[in-house]
Structure 1
């Protein structure tokens, strides 16, 4: 019998006792256990177990009330963990560790350790990196090897670590928009053995001196709105663009490059899969990347020739470092580690609180939850905020019930943090992506129209008056009508246009960057003047 299974046997032998810290549960169901009256009693039960165990309790899951091994499906176990996470949160505790074992019938049984206390003040240095690149160019595999430190098996094995789990998506309060996280302390990288384990990821956030979160984007063609939202809607510090050595830059690579650089995001290009080709091919692809960057008015800086120190000093201000990498041999990953450990945070924390909403959820027993990246300022539990604009252009007061980041409840959140905020005073159905949370003394003026300078990255013909693309500004994704000042815009043109949202107003400010797309047409723009 292995050590891990011995832990399960020990918990079963201790059994449920009136004043004990062990609780047996076959499963939790949102529909049953979070219904009226059940939530409060289950929270009280969990709190009793934690106190009985001097701050720690064990929930044995997938077993009957008398400790018999029942086993549940993976889907049921995910939902069970979802509910247990909510119960722990409501009880002022958190799930510190979960271990699972398979049954002979193919089910799962597990032991979850619940520990008292849930507050975490995120005072660490935290940068957010947006990843982009053509499908199959090794984006997720590269990040998987970075966060785990494990070499890939040559078949994308480390990519599997980054698949989103059903209970993470459905729960919502985790607000884990990033798809990978690792960190650094005084001794170097702090990696996670299994990014699926929320306790490991939370431990990095809690203990690292520098935390690095990766926000995934979509590499498939056609370019999906999710890609644009990941690059434009989050408060990113840096971009990481992958180009496969066996394929080279593609049309999608060029489009992603245009958006990353047009939004002035300091960017690193990683040439991936160098283990699949010879040195001559790597040199050729690096030259192709250099030409691509020069075509966009940027200066390429190959790290292999100029060194890490020069790249870290020069990144931004039109300089784009190029790093050769392989997730299989781990070549170049030490260079990326140095980048992410030493690069300064680029997003400022000054100014009043502001967060554009990216996702919304309804969590039974909690209510409406809005998630996104804090753009500026700070927010604390108990704060009163303004939420809007609603379709009628109005803002309404709401209260912050709780805040959660990377599976930990936090007392406050600062600029650059990816968080979920539980809101009191509004229904989840009334909260929409593209809305914004502001301080109560703000005086926001939502608009339907604004003027902008745009650059057409790609279009099959020309943009005429009346052109209606989807505009992606912050987390807004809305159809809009263009009225170019000169009547039309051709591919490659830069010009002025008036933009009018088709359906409703949003909070738009001068200087904000946006992306627009419609079919094969894509471009970027900057808000130059706002009208009521």
Structure 2
């Protein structure tokens, strides 16, 4: 663990004089992935054409329905280029290949190559091939939007998803704010989701040209869900819960051009890095500052990213930069930076182009998740008389279909109760089945065997898993910041996926652990039994103390301990009441 990450939560003296910049030339072609280099595609034979179609199909599978073809480029990455006639013939062949698979083309960029020896001017093209999967399931991607208050997060999301610029007084954010106090203060305090899509032709589909979410889903081949999180420090618990519960693919960190990296920005950046998320920055509200001041802010942000985060800042100035940054973001060291305005729309087109090309999680990761037994985390609970209990959340692994038999829990007793899935909806659209990494709402009716309250933080699992709840679990932790040291008895709010509960350290392998140190500890939940999985990442926070870690093992909950657990909690409550009376 590097000291730069610790510096995002406390003080850091880390420094580096290393000059970092992206390569100017294309890297050699690799066998895996969704990028294919072709020097030319002119009049292929029948056998050759069939081979090319098979190759395109492979690249589309690697890219979850998206492939990028570099025409006029050799396998070693050298830009040879083609004449206008050869380029036109190559594009005709690529178009026939795409039509064969039901895909469509859109040109991302055109490069001009000057040959000084003979004076010929040649060109190369970068082409995006996009195909709606056979199961009609679009490519999906979740982006967590973080940043300090007044950075313009909600306004930026609203402009992207509604195609309506802000008036400079925050009118755009009214499309997202859910509560009266949010509208009055202009500060987000809850978690909200907004969607935008891209169709086969790389055109934006959002509420600017679609009336309903259903229409956006119908027209889109790629769907992006923005998770709008709170920027105020008093809502940090909600923000961390959004990061751990919704498992975003990327973090979009929004910075106000008026004041740069201030407030909770460092903490948001630190938690994103701790969770292993890939990050890109948006310096917003550039219409409110002078060019001189903006230059100073951008320079300070770039230096901070280099020194404190050990990342390569890449300022996006052109459409070509936007394409490059989307491709280079697969490298966790690269951090693109966009300069935008929600009032005059500056550089929003480049941000949309970047989002259009950006790839979600790798296909093999999703396949591994889909092949496992079903787990569905419950993020919210609703009740209506007709459908009964409605559970919304995320499919962590496996698939869920109507009439599947599942186990719901754990309840206070530590037990899991059998239930049946009755109906399923995605983005308010009924469906028969949902797969791994998809968000959904499922109804389970009114099971007579459920006597206790259904709550957030529970899970629906396949009975074959034989799920076991726990009160205690073992973990390896790393202290990001603490004013002194952690010892046995330290209490903190622990976040593990959709689990959010106060826990206390009951055992550890050393007497104390300080900032930038590791330890093996045993946590014990204070209130109720939870279901957690080994190897899950965790974050803990109490006041200014912050840390991260990984669950290494769970201590199965013994139902015979229920009475003892209740007695301990009752005695603790009585002690607190006596202390209040004394005061």
TM superposition score normalised by structure 1: 0.70
Q: By how many angstroms is 1:165 displaced?
A: 7.8
1:515-530 → structure 2 map (5 Å cutoff): 515-530=539-554
State the secondary structure of the residue aligned to 2:304.
Answer: helix
State the secondary structure of the residue aligned to 1:251.
Answer: coil
Q: By how many angstroms is 1:259 displaced?
A: 0.8
* Matched-pair contact (CA < 8 Å) for 2:382–2:389: yes
| Aligned position for 1:211 | 223
* Matched-pair contact (CA < 8 Å) for 1:127–1:416: no
Q: Distance in 2 between matches of 1:510 and 1:292?
A: 34
Q: By how many angstroms is 1:122 displaced?
A: 6.4
| Aligned position for 2:504 | 481
* Matched-pair contact (CA < 8 Å) for 2:168–2:343: yes
* Matched-pair contact (CA < 8 Å) for 1:360–1:428: no
Q: 1:275/1:320 Cα in 2 relative to 1: closer, same or farther (>3 Å)? A: same
Q: By how many angstroms is 1:518 displaced?
A: 1.4
Q: Distance in 2 between matches of 1:376 and 1:337?
A: 30
Q: By how many angstroms is 1:156 displaced?
A: 1.3
Q: 1:133/1:450 Cα in 2 relative to 1: closer, same or farther (>3 Å)? A: same
Q: Distance in 2 between matches of 1:283 and 1:127?
A: 32
Q: 1:496/1:277 Cα in 2 relative to 1: closer, same or farther (>3 Å)? A: farther
* Matched-pair contact (CA < 8 Å) for 2:401–2:433: yes
Q: By how many angstroms is 1:308 displaced?
A: 2.1
| Aligned position for 1:161 | 175
| Aligned position for 1:200 | 212
Q: Distance in 1 between matches of 2:438 and 2:357?
A: 19
| Aligned position for 1:323 | 338
Structure 2 gap segments, 5+ residues each: 1-134, 181-189, 557-583
> Which of 148, 160, 170 is matched with 1:134 structurally?
148
Q: By how many angstroms is 1:407 displaced?
A: 1.8
State the secondary structure of the residue aligned to 2:155.
Answer: helix
Does residue 463 in structure 1 map to residue 475 in structure 2? no
> Which of 351, 354, 360 is matched with 1:339 structurally?
354
Q: Distance in 2 between matches of 1:428 and 1:258?
A: 42
Q: By how many angstroms is 1:507 displaced?
A: 2.0
Bigger CA drift: 311-320 or 397-406?
Answer: 311-320
Q: Distance in 2 between matches of 1:414 and 1:177?
A: 23
Does residue 273 in structure 1 map to residue 285 in structure 2? yes
Q: Deviations over 1:377-412 (max 9, x none)?
A: 221121111111222222121111111222212221
| Aligned position for 1:495 | 519
Bigger CA drift: 312-321 or 215-224?
Answer: 312-321
> Which of 181, 198, 209 is matched with 2:195 structurally?
181
* Matched-pair contact (CA < 8 Å) for 1:122–1:206: no
Q: Distance in 1 between matches of 2:469 and 2:452?
A: 20
Does residue 402 in structure 1 map to residue 423 in structure 2? yes
Q: By how many angstroms is 1:223 displaced?
A: 4.1
Q: Distance in 1 between matches of 2:309 and 2:478?
A: 12
* Matched-pair contact (CA < 8 Å) for 1:274–1:282: yes
Q: Deviations over 1:8-49 (max 9, x none)?
A: xxxxxxxxxxxxxxxxxxxxxxxxxxxxxxxxxxxxxxxxxx
Q: Distance in 1 between matches of 2:227 and 2:140?
A: 13
| Aligned position for 1:249 | 261
Does residue 228 in structure 1 map to residue 240 in structure 2? yes
Q: 1:161/1:465 Cα in 2 relative to 1: closer, same or farther (>3 Å)? A: same
Q: Distance in 2 between matches of 1:164 and 1:222?
A: 18
Q: 1:210/1:429 Cα in 2 relative to 1: closer, same or farther (>3 Å)? A: farther
Q: Distance in 2 between matches of 1:287 and 1:462?
A: 36
Q: By how many angstroms is 1:177 displaced?
A: 6.8
**Greater relative contact order (Cα < 8 A, sep 6+):** 1
Q: Distance in 1 between matches of 2:500 and 2:400?
A: 25
Q: 1:310/1:432 Cα in 2 relative to 1: closer, same or farther (>3 Å)? A: same
Q: By how many angstroms is 1:143 displaced?
A: 0.5
* Matched-pair contact (CA < 8 Å) for 2:191–2:229: no
* Matched-pair contact (CA < 8 Å) for 1:131–1:239: yes
| Aligned position for 1:79 | none
Q: Distance in 2 between matches of 1:428 and 1:278?
A: 63
Q: Distance in 1 between matches of 2:246 and 2:429?
A: 20
| Aligned position for 1:359 | 380
* Matched-pair contact (CA < 8 Å) for 1:459–1:521: yes
Q: 1:502/1:165 Cα in 2 relative to 1: closer, same or farther (>3 Å)? A: closer
Q: Distance in 1 between matches of 2:341 and 2:251?
A: 18
Q: Distance in 2 between matches of 1:220 and 1:128?
A: 22
State the secondary structure of the residue aligned to 2:420.
Answer: strand
* Matched-pair contact (CA < 8 Å) for 2:191–2:238: no
| Aligned position for 1:432 | 455
| Aligned position for 1:144 | 158
Q: Distance in 2 between matches of 1:385 and 1:287?
A: 54
Q: Deviations over 1:164-200 (max 9, x none)?
A: 389xxxxxxxxx9742111111231112139xx9x51
Q: Deviations over 1:191-238 (max 9, x none)?
A: 2139xx9x5122112221111111121111224321111111113111
